[in-house]
Amino acid sequence: MSTSERPHPVAIITGAASGIGLALTTHLLAKNYKVFMADINPAGASIAASLPLPTPSAAPPTFVPTDIASFPAQLALFQHAYAYNGSIDFFAANAGIDDSEDVFAAEVEAAVETNGNGTLNGDTTGHLTVKAPNLKTLDVDLAAVVSGLKLFVAFARHSARADAARGRARRARNMVITASMVGLYPFETNPLYCAAKHGLIGLTRSVGPRFAKEGITVNAILPAFVPTGLAPPGLVEAVQEQGHLTPMSTVLLAYEAFLWGHRAGETVEVSLGELYWRKPVGYPNESQRWLNEDAAGVWGGAYEKARTEGAKKDEGANGG
């Protein structure tokens, strides 16, 4: 995508009020983007207003308070950004949180009944219960990204049709997902975060090649430890003392690799001063390769039939 095609290409960045999102906002402002900064941080508007503009003609960023776990809120964000000039050129699905649930602390919670004198009833099994887990981490770190993907693709397709109607050449529209290095490895400290980031890598690799045929690219960065708001007090300093802090400049290099629409379904691990292009694990045998690569028509045909039949049943149930 050439930034000269429009006065200001439009970017949406979630988690934009701090860390990677804020650094990326500054980076894109310097490239003449109009940036819509999304975050739940109540200080977001003042942070956006305080950012220096690189040139007098630069478009100031717009802060949009957004809880990305809410689909209506994300939809409103995309509508706001699209209204600027009828296009959304770049989307960084960056917002995330650490674990909302300690999966290692699972216990039966309810106190069992007693006989009134402090002794237990003989059979207390029916009175045991376990509190439902808090899945906010998966809602924000995984489900919200799926929602963002749907919105980005929908608006990108709409923009492409509008461009075609005006005789404009098709150009790539690019989405970059912030996954994590722990999407490749176990991470005992935050297993739900780890599970979500594994899911984002699978999502990226699964949808990237297909959407690329429409000029929509989806890729993911996998940062190592970068100083962000997720880190508890003292952690950044402890990691830095050991020499394992990845600078924000390396993260921005990863984004640069995806800004121009030449890659699709790629995942890049970002560690210290290097980018490592990570591929899926190899197949253990020919059967596994066939199931995943050559059987696309078999899988697709079966699921398409099931979805069609399911839609017909739904229409019948609704009186359609």
Per-residue pLDDT of the chain (320 residues; tens, 9 = 90+): 444 446 789 999 999 999 999 999 999 999 999 999 999 999 999 999 999 998 988 999 999 999 999 999 999 999 999 999 899 999 999 999 999 999 999 888 765 555 555 545 555 555 788 889 999 999 999 999 999 999 999 999 999 898 888 877 777 899 999 999 999 999 999 999 999 999 999 999 999 999 999 999 999 999 998 877 667 777 777 777 778 889 999 999 999 999 987 899 999 999 999 999 999 999 999 999 988 888 777 777 888 887 887 766 666 555 65
Q: What single-letter amino acid sits at 18?
A: S
DSSP state of 38: E
Helices 71-85 + 144-165 axis angle, to 10: 30
Instruction: Tell me the pTM.
Output: 0.87
At residue 178, what are phi and psi to the nearest 5 degrees?
-85, 100
**What does the alpha-carbon distance between residue 316 and residue 249 come to, in Å, rounded to a whole number?**
56
- pLDDT of amino acid 8: 87
- pLDDT of amino acid 1: 40
From the list 179, 128, 15, the residue with the least C-alpha distance to 23 is 15
Cβ atoms of residues 39 and 21 within 8 Å:
yes
**What does the alpha-carbon distance between residue 102 and residue 314 come to, in Å, rounded to a whole number?**
39
**What does the alpha-carbon distance between residue 202 and residue 163 come to, in Å, rounded to a whole number?**
31
Q: Token pair of 311, please? A: 């839609």
Q: Token pair of 123, please? A: 């059979």
- pLDDT of amino acid 114: 54
For residue 34, how far is the Cα from the chain centroid? 20
CB burial of residue 111 (10 Å; 0-12, 13-18, 19+): exposed
Taking the chain, what is the end-to-end CA distance rounded to the nearest angstrom? 44
Helices 248-258 + 19-29 axis angle, to 10: 60
